[in-house]
Structure 1
Amino acid sequence: MSPRPGRGRPRLLPGKIAANPRDQILAAAAELFVSRGYAGTTTREIAEGAGLRQASIYYHFGSKEEILAVLLERSVQDRVEQAGKVEAGMGSVTPDVGLYALAVSDMSALVAMPYNIGMLYRLPDVIASPVYDRYGHLRGDLVDRYGRVAQRAAEERVSASTGEPGLGELLVQMVESVVSLRRDDRVGSSTVATIAAACLRLCGVAEDAIEQAREAALSALARA
């Protein structure tokens, strides 16, 4: 068993040379929420994981719920912005290419998130939290963007809403399946390609068009 970090010991965030106390708290909370659950994690444990005194938590955050709200926002905000860029650039690529690029870039973002915080929204105790609604509207924006991009790829083949849930929600759920696969170390380039292709199939795109979209989308993402 690894030794517990001592008080005041700095904990680094991925990709950072050093972390300020606020980021240390968020990193420790993210790791604990995903591994133990939100309800099963105490602020004392978060403080110990961050190498800080428990009182330091309340200097930076008013409550454990506030920490969760920040993490939920971080888990989706960049994805919404990326989806917006793809949607805005649809005039320069075919809809098939745009949807494939959106799915691949979104999965890449989910896989790269530290401590797999994309998993948070799936946890029942997180969904039951009063702060979940502060995150839900952001994910709703993401679903809407997926729906608009997908409808252009689908043309008249698939309706914008295939019952409940709608097309955008179905696609987001497919893409977000990587957070579960990531826990089992089963996310590679072939998995990403399989899910992205499935997104296009759901929109009725033909197999030969899917392969063309894959090549064009990967080339576009490489240039971005």
Structure 2
Amino acid sequence: MTTVGPGRPRKQQAVRPGATARDEILDAAAELFTGQGFANTSTRAIADAVGIRQSSLYHHFSTKDEILGDLLGGTVSTSLAFARAVHGESGEGRQELAPAARLHAVVLFDGSQLCSSRWNLGVLYHLPEARAEVFQPFMAARTELRTIYGELGQELTAVCDSGAGLGDTAFRLVESLINLRADGLISADSASTTADTVMILAGLKRELPAVRAASSELISRFGDVPDLIAG
């Protein structure tokens, strides 16, 4: 029998991805919350899915809400760190393409996170429980991300013939990928198609190749963001 720490025996060998028991708990909870709902999932069910005792789960998380808070935060933290970095990047080249590339990169990166994560955790955004005060750190991070979208949209509107509210439209289009994924309609290019659509709405269809190239450069430069999150 393996163990997860002193006095915390595991029922079986680890069967879930994750470097730690905490990671495995989050993975199991993500599967159960997205598959059968938050309210219908007990901490005992999560512990069973990991192969640990329920008491061992409480060594890592004191409540089910705490688990949900970690999962919700994880859906935003990486995209927010990337958006912060890109938002402060002045870029080079044609004046209108710098803000276009920034918005395209944020849409593409954020959309890719939502499309490629192991579980479709975005479906948890609309849980009534997610509006509780305990989840305010997640809500604040999501609001900041939406604000950056809005500011990037305003920058682009200022230099090209695009309508007001472009940033908020982009944010809504990205989050629509959550529902498309839930319906089984996500493809390998869904995120890139969404980013291109935002540029077309901005009136930059002819400039798309140049925007994509500049966007790709930003993602190459800032796409590895663990250090940004930690900082």
TM-score clears 0.5: yes
- Report the counterpart of residue 206 of structure 1 in structure 2: 204
Query: After the TM superposition, which residues 1-224 of structure 1 pair with which residues of structure 2 at under 5 Å, given as runs?
Result: 7-13=11-17, 16=18, 19-92=19-92, 94-122=98-126, 124-155=127-158, 157=161, 162=165, 167-202=166-201, 204-222=202-220
TM-score of the two chains, using structure 2 as the length reference: 0.79
Which deviates the most, 31-40 or 189-198? Answer: 189-198
Distance in 2 (alpha carbons) for counterparts of 1:53 and 1:103: 41
Using a 3 Å threshold, how does the CA distance of structure 1 residues 114 and 197 change in structure 2: closer, same or farther? Answer: same
TM-score of the two chains, using structure 1 as the length reference: 0.81
- Secondary structure at 1:187 match in 2: coil
Distance in 2 (alpha carbons) for counterparts of 1:222 and 1:20: 29
- Secondary structure at 1:89 match in 2: coil
1:34-85 C-alpha deviation (Å, 9 max, x unpaired): 1111111111111111111111111111100011111111110111001111
RMSD, aligned α-carbons: 2.4
Residues 47 and 57 in structure 1, CA contact (< 8 A), matched pair in contact too: yes
Residues 153 and 205 in structure 1, CA contact (< 8 A), matched pair in contact too: no
The alignment of Structure 1 onto Structure 2 pairs a total of residues equal to 208
Using a 3 Å threshold, how does the CA distance of structure 1 residues 90 and 118 change in structure 2: closer, same or farther? Answer: farther
Which deviates the most, 214-223 or 187-196? Answer: 214-223
Q: Which consecutive aligned stretches of 4+ in structure 1 deviate over 6 angstroms post-superposition?
A: none
Using a 3 Å threshold, how does the CA distance of structure 1 residues 36 and 125 change in structure 2: closer, same or farther? Answer: farther
- Report the counterpart of residue 227 of structure 2 in structure 1: none
Distance in 2 (alpha carbons) for counterparts of 1:57 and 1:64: 10
Distance in 1 (alpha carbons) for counterparts of 2:136 and 2:154: 26
Structure 2: gaps spanning 5 or more residues: 1-9, 223-231
CA deviation after TM superposition for structure 1 residue 130, in Å:
4.2
Structure 1: gaps spanning 5 or more residues: 1-5
Amino acid at match of 1:213: V
Identity %: 32
Distance in 2 (alpha carbons) for counterparts of 1:221 and 1:47: 37
Distance in 2 (alpha carbons) for counterparts of 1:188 and 1:90: 32
Using a 3 Å threshold, how does the CA distance of structure 1 residues 223 and 189 change in structure 2: closer, same or farther? Answer: farther
- Report the counterpart of residue 3 of structure 1 in structure 2: none
Which deviates the most, 124-133 or 142-151? Answer: 124-133
Distance in 2 (alpha carbons) for counterparts of 1:40 and 1:65: 13
- Secondary structure at 2:41 match in 1: coil
